[in-house]
Amino acid sequence: MFKPTEDFAKQLDQNDELSRYKDEFYLNEGQIYMDGNSLGLLSKRAEKSLLDVLDAWKIHGIDGWTKGEHPWFYLSEHLGERVAQLVGAKAKEVVVTGSTTTNLHQLVSTFYQPEGNRTKILADELNFPSDIYALKSQLKLHGLDPNEHLIRVKSRDGRTLNEEDLIEAMTDEVALVILPTVLYRSGQLLNIERITNAAHERGIKIGWDACHSIGAIPHDFHDLGVDFAYWCHYKYVNSGPGGVAGLFVHEKHFGTEPGLAGWFGSDKTKQFDMEHDFTPSESAGAFQIGTPHLLSVAPLIGSLELFEEAGINAIRQKSLRATEYLMYLVNEFLSDFNFTVGNPTDDARRGGHVCLEHAEAASICKALKANGVVPDFRAPNVIRLAPVAFYVSYQDVYKTVKIIKDIMENEIYKQYKNERDVIA
């Protein structure tokens, strides 16, 4: 299928229907950006929409809440309607608000209702630390000991989760399940349908952390009956550092009062009545807490245009082919240097990045940066490489692997300490 030549990479690019989008993004000359699964690049359209919102503030002042191209008062809900296509939701089931961890706190506060024997939250030992911090603090707020009431399902290999183990852990003591759609280190994509069905068959609500899948992988949260989900937009969705996050709540839960009530979760027609009795919105908008962060949400307006044009299914197909090509080249060129591919190789189980493991991973990442490639290091030994569909070409993938080979052959990595920087 593939060939280990740069001419073949050029041929793949010529046949890539998404290649035209690379010019939409700001790329440093001579640099290959393989870290879009950590922070996506700025697009020209995201830049424009940010400037548009600034102009609205400049022109309208406080009237920007109801005037201009994107009235601020309704923006979180309107953007939620547009994001819904990326997660397979109905328009009113998604709202753009908060941060990932704030939204997790909101959703757990709402849907974690310990009663009788059902007091435990089920998670996993490979999840991103912030999720675990939040779950532990939520248990403490209920007067429960996290050491006893937080179940973290063990990994058999230190990289991936076995779905049988997850389902087996769903006992009659579990009140809530929180899992990642894609594991942040290894890039394993879990079977959301199977695991959701298993939870519901046992009378357990389930929520999904979609930070490492939204914008790279299509979802069907509504049709699968997922209770809730939450995510950031600054990775594959390219909304900018600290960009406002999003959440999904299935319509079957509309009318459930948020665990953490806030003014912007109000019914819009009653919000300015200034009553002390909270009337929540009859949509996912009810789960907002504070005033929208307009200048942090503005880039998402333009970024979503690209997804609406390209389509998430085409993006997924490019991502699958690019990651497959990357793994092929690793096998062709790096087999003599003790690298291991730590992500699942099967398309149905692979997210949007390749997990390349090596004992000298931190120093290799530093050498890559010094040679024009931006990777991502994750302790203890992972080099994450994300050939993002919009702005990483097949030639970029080819060049990246060739640069790694040169770094290993000439022992360039030995010039750097094999330890992470303050930010990895």
| DSSP-assigned states of every residue in 50-72 | HHHHHHHHHHHGGGGGTSSSS-H
pLDDT in tens, 264-298: 999 999 999 999 999 999 999 999 999 999 999 99
Asked if 170 contacts 202 with a C-beta cutoff of 8 angstroms, the reply is: yes
Residue 262 counted as domain residue: yes
Rounded to the nearest angstrom, the gap between the alpha carbon of residue 104 and the centroid of all alpha carbons in its chain is 13
291 is in an annotated binding site: yes
The answer on pLDDT for 423 being more than 80 is no
65 is in an annotated binding site: no
Residue 39 counted as domain residue: no
- Check whether residue 230 and residue 265 sit in a common domain: yes
Q: How many CB atoms lie within 10 A of CB 278?
A: 15
The CATH number linked to 371 is 3.90.1150.10
72 is in an annotated binding site: no
Tell me which residue has tokens 């929540």: 280
The answer on pLDDT for 421 being more than 90 is no
pLDDT at 424 (0 to 100): 76
State how far the Cα of 175 lies from the Cα of 129, in Å rounded to an integer. Answer: 21
354-357 vs 340-341, strand pairing mode: antiparallel
Residue 139 counted as domain residue: yes
128 is in an annotated binding site: yes
- Check whether residue 206 and residue 268 sit in a common domain: yes
- Check whether residue 344 and residue 273 sit in a common domain: no
Q: How many CB atoms lie within 10 A of CB 134?
A: 20
Residue 337 counted as domain residue: yes
The CATH number linked to 269 is 3.40.640.10
130 is in an annotated binding site: yes
256 is in an annotated binding site: no
pTM of this prediction exceeds 0.75: yes
State how far the Cα of 390 lies from the Cα of 129, in Å rounded to an integer. Answer: 29
- Check whether residue 223 and residue 301 sit in a common domain: yes
State how far the Cα of 281 lies from the Cα of 255, in Å rounded to an integer. Answer: 8
- Check whether residue 193 and residue 231 sit in a common domain: yes
263 is in an annotated binding site: yes
Asked if 386 contacts 34 with a C-beta cutoff of 8 angstroms, the reply is: yes
Domain residues for the domain of 60 are: 48-309
- pLDDT exceeding 90 applies to what percent of the chain? 98
Domain end, chosen from 285, 309, 333, is at 309
Domain end, chosen from 309, 337, 357, is at 309
7 is in an annotated binding site: no
pLDDT in tens, 120-132: 999 999 999 999 9
Residue 37 counted as domain residue: no
State how far the Cα of 24 lies from the Cα of 355, in Å rounded to an integer. Answer: 27
Average pLDDT, the chain: 97
209 is in an annotated binding site: yes
State how far the Cα of 142 lies from the Cα of 406, in Å rounded to an integer. Answer: 55
Domain count within the chain? 2
- Check whether residue 320 and residue 197 sit in a common domain: no
Residue 187 counted as domain residue: yes
- Check whether residue 234 and residue 363 sit in a common domain: no
- Check whether residue 353 and residue 221 sit in a common domain: no
- Check whether residue 159 and residue 258 sit in a common domain: yes
Q: Report phi then psi at 300, rounded to 5.
A: -65, -30
- Check whether residue 122 and residue 220 sit in a common domain: yes
pLDDT in tens, 36-46: 999 999 999 99
Residue 192 counted as domain residue: yes
Q: How confident is the model at residue 422 (pLDDT cuts 50, 70, 90)?
A: confident
pLDDT at 406 (0 to 100): 98
* Closest CA relative to residue 236, chosen from 207, 210, 272, 275: 210
Residue 239 counted as domain residue: yes
Domain end, chosen from 309, 336, 368, is at 309
- Check whether residue 329 and residue 265 sit in a common domain: no
Cis peptide leading into residue 380 (ω within 30°): yes
- Check whether residue 236 and residue 174 sit in a common domain: yes
Tell the burial category of 161 from Cβ atoms under 10 Å away from its Cβ (0-12, 13-18, 19+): buried
State how far the Cα of 116 lies from the Cα of 151, in Å rounded to an integer. Answer: 17
208 is in an annotated binding site: no
